[in-house]
């Protein structure tokens, strides 16, 4: 019996997805999760990219940050989730634009969350897009 307890105690903890390196987490886990979730609600032409680019709003384009850029509906609708640091727990922003226009407003994203998980980032993304009435007809 004591040997069984030692074996169980020595078993390493499973690494959380959120503890993986920033770029690995985004490219290998978050992008596929967003793509799959939006596919379930009928967004079948989603083009997701992950790049370090200047902020997309006029007047603050001198700041580079990592951004998930999603385009769909024939690239007429665009949303971005930006990370000001290479850390999913750091400050994030959301912006979107319709009819092929550039975003004009940055909104804070997930500012009240103490824990940041893959599922929560996907949920907040869907909520923001649904708030724009882009996922369901009203």
Examine residue 1 and state whether it is found in any structural domain, yes or no.
Answer: no
- Average pLDDT over every residue of 79-97: 93
How many structural domains is the chain composed of?
1
Res. 132: pLDDT tops 70: yes
Examine residue 46 and state whether it is found in any structural domain, yes or no.
Answer: yes
Examine residue 31 and state whether it is found in any structural domain, yes or no.
Answer: yes
Task: Supply the pTM of this predicted model.
Answer: 0.83
Examine residue 9 and state whether it is found in any structural domain, yes or no.
Answer: no
The predicted pLDDT at position 6 comes to 55
- Average pLDDT over every residue of 43-55: 93
Quote the domain boundaries for residue 32.
Answer: 19-131
Examine residue 69 and state whether it is found in any structural domain, yes or no.
Answer: yes
Examine residue 8 and state whether it is found in any structural domain, yes or no.
Answer: no
Examine residue 86 and state whether it is found in any structural domain, yes or no.
Answer: yes
Examine residue 6 and state whether it is found in any structural domain, yes or no.
Answer: no
Task: Kindly report each contact of residues 115-122 with a partner whose C-beta sits within 8 Å and lies 24 or more positions away, as own/partner.
Answer: 116/18, 116/88, 116/89, 117/17, 117/18, 118/17, 118/18, 118/25, 118/29, 118/30, 118/33, 119/33, 121/30, 121/81, 121/88, 122/30, 122/33, 122/34, 122/37
pLDDT digits (tens, 9 = 90+) for 107-127: 999 988 888 999 999 999 999
């Amino acid at each position: 019996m004591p040997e069984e307890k030692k074996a169980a105690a020595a078993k390493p903890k499973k690494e959380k997805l959120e503890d993986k390196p920033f770029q690995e987490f985004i490219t290998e886990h978050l992008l596929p999760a967003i793509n799959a979730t939006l596919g379930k609600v009928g967004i079948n032409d989603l083009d997701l990219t992950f790049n370090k680019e200047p902020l997309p709003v006029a007047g603050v384009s001198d700041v580079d940050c990592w951004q998930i850029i999603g385009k769909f509906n024939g690239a007429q609708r665009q949303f971005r989730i930006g990370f000001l640091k290479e850390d999913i727990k750091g400050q994030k922003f959301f912006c979107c634009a319709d009819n092929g226009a550039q975003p004009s407003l940055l909104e804070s994203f997930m500012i009240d969350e103490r824990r940041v998980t893959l599922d929560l980032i996907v949920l907040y993304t869907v909520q923001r897009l649904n708030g724009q009435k882009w996922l369901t007809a009203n």
